[in-house]
Amino acid sequence: MNLREPPIRSQKLRRAAAGQHCTMNLPGICTDDPETVVLAHIHDESFGRGQKADDTSGAHMCHACHTAYDLHRTGLDDGDLYRMLLRAMQRTIRRLVVDLKVIIVPLDPEHLSSSKPTPKRKPPEQRTKIPARKTEWPTGRKLVSRNNLRKASK
């Protein structure tokens, strides 16, 4: 990918956030006020050098979640933050495709009609059982500590 390409900008994507619910839902922070929801840009590979990320790398966030994310004050470690960002972006994309129809995705014909029921799972007694792994721990082996701190303090 050429990082010198201009970022993807879409006024329709940004305006679609108006009046929506927050998809980030940061615990203890989110107000879920539809009046303040905007498209918050999530850092991607086009981010930096004085420019925001693409409009396609964003999530609908209320003012409180957006501010906490921008100021790095979410109270979450990196793993939890990125998991929540991914979830928010997935919710936003689904909303833009299914509900708002701002993003057009060609759907498979068999999924277009909702009259087809989803297949039911087999009852537990008819499911194939996965055999348990038989792992034996080594026995008769003495563990030797390499901790010399106790020896040095005597």
C-alpha 52/C-alpha 44 separation (Å) is 9
Closest CA to 53 of 21, 85, 96, 100: 85
The torsion of the CA quartet 143, 144, 147, 149, rounded to 10 degrees, works out to 120
Determine whether 43 is an active site residue: no
Considering the candidates 41, 43, 72, 111, report the single residue annotated as catalytic.
Answer: 41
List active site positions: 41
